[in-house]
A = this chain, B = another copy of it.
Amino acid sequence: MALSNDNRIGRHAILLLLSEDSVGQLKKLEQSNWKGCTGKVGSMEAHKVVAAIETAAKKNGIIQSNVYRESHALYHAIIEALHGVTRGQVQLGSVLRTVGLSFAILRGNPYDSELEGDWIAVSLYGTIGAPVKGSEHETIGLGINHI
């Protein structure tokens, strides 16, 4: 059941965010049988971050819209990634802070064994801080789930 060194889904999902050439990198991943997409969202409301990622995942065919188990897997991956971003309470505007985030979603099998099937990774990178220009620092989050 070991993680395949080349297929570390979380590492790929984060490098997509931090890369200078995320388009090229995504293309390479797609050639290796990964499904993925990237996007951006800024908001004081956590539910808008959730919605932006869910919409991107469905529009880009990364999850099947009409199968709840796929939405369920994605939802929990998003919330787990938000834990890394918020570090304590999954709250933004209600505690007077805002985020500006890039996100990546990646789907594929990170394990050596084919039995492990598909997994999904959601990575977030950007800034968090007061709703005042410049009053912010960086933040990152990663959620991984079987799908």
Q: Would you call B3 and A46 a contact (CB within 8 A)? A: no
Cα A139 to Cα B140 in complex, Å, equals 11
Q: Of residues A8, A91, A132, A146, which shows the largest number of chain B Cβ atoms within 10 Å of its Cβ?
A: A146
Q: Per-residue 0/1 for A51-82: is the Cβ within 8 Å of any B Cβ (1 yes, 0 no)? A: 10010000000000011110111011001101
**When the two chains form their complex, are residues A95 and B137 in contact, meaning their CB atoms are under 8 A apart?**
no
Residues of B contacting A132 with CB < 8 Å? 71
Chain A 107-147 interface mask (CB, 8 Å, partner B; 1/0): 00011010111010101010101101111111111111111
Please, could you name 8 A-B residue pairs with CB atoms under 8 Å apart, sorted by A? A10-B125, A54-B96, A68-B134, A69-B115, A72-B135, A72-B146, A76-B76, A138-B142
Q: Is the CB of B134 within 8 A of A67?
A: no
